Every structure is written in structure tokens, then in C-alpha cells.
Amino acid sequence: QETRLSTLRPVTEFFDYNRISRPADLNTATQVCLHAVRYFSGNYLLVVIALSVYALITNRYLIFALVFLVGGFIAINKWAPEPMQVGEHVVTQKSLYTVLFVVGIPLVWWAEPFGTLFWVIGSSLILILGHAALVEPGVESEYSELEAGQV
């Protein structure tokens, strides 16, 4: 991720509306997309992260379910490392984990994590491919082949 974020382009270059143009055909659009995805990979990674955070924030049930599972896991590790006597029953860490997951897994399922995941994937693809297809490659892309020694 450090190498991806090191390729982060300036916001003014990423949102340069003067470079927006419709590709002539599908072959040109494919070439432009391939170049833009390589060139703006750091920016596109930030787009995916921002959409993921937005999807998580707007899905309250998923946040609740994840906090319930993580909080329960932390609480069990902190306060119940040894078996304890509750009335006539001995409660072990294993039984507490079982109860946590028997309650937590249906909560996570009810929160529709797959719907959230597919929304993030779909919206990321639409935004990234839409941007990549419409952004004209800069002058630096035409000379990159010559600099690499390819003619």
C-alpha cells in the first residue's frame, strides 16, 4: 500500500475537467482505461477506501454487529480468562465464545455485509472505470514509451 499511495497524483490533476473527452471507440477506451488505472492507482485506492468508509458508516446494523463481536471478544479475553462458577454452572471461555458467536453471527448476517461489499465493488467500478475512460492521457504518457527505450 505504501507504493500505491506514493503514486498519489494531485487533486487538480485528478479532477482536471479540461482533460475529459469521449473516446473514439472501444479499443481506444480500453487503452485509455489501462493507462489511467496505472497512472491514478493511488487516487483510485483512496476512492475505494472512501466508499468503503461511507458504506460502513451508513450501515448502522453492520457497525453494531461488528462492535458487538469485537467488544465481546475483547471482554471475554479481559474478564473471563479462567472458568468461573455462576450458581451451579461452570462458565468457561469456550462457552462464552460459543454464546457470543451464536448471537453475533445472525446479527452480522442480518446486517447484510455481502450487500455492502457488492455495493462498494459496484460503485467503485462505476466511478473508477467512468473516470478512467473519460480522462485523456497527458503528454507524459506519450513519451513514457520512448523514455523506457521502447520504440
Residues 8 and 82 in one domain: no
Predicted TM-score (pTM) of the model is 0.77
Provide the sign of the torsion angle of the four alpha carbons 19, 21, 26, 28, taken in this order.
negative
Answer whether 136's CB lies under 8 Å from 21's CB.
Answer: yes
Residues 53 and 117 in one domain: yes
In this predicted structure, what is the pLDDT of residue 139? 67
Per-residue confidence at 52, pLDDT binned at 50, 70, 90? very high
Phi and psi at 135, nearest 5°, equal: -85, 125
Q: Which residues form the domain of 93?
A: 60-111
Is 147 contained in some domain?
no
In this predicted structure, what is the pLDDT of residue 37? 92
Residues 95 and 127 in one domain: no
pLDDT in tens, 83-124: 888 889 999 999 999 999 999 999 999 999 999 999 999 999
- The Cα–Cα gap between 149 and 143 comes to 10
Number of domains in the chain: 2
Is 75 contained in some domain?
yes
Alpha helices in 80-149, H assignment, sequence order: 93-110, 113-134, 139-147
Residues 102 and 125 in one domain: no
Residues 25 and 73 in one domain: no
69: nearest Cα among 93, 114, 102: 102
Helices H, strands E: what count in the chain?
A: 8, 2
Residues 132 and 84 in one domain: no
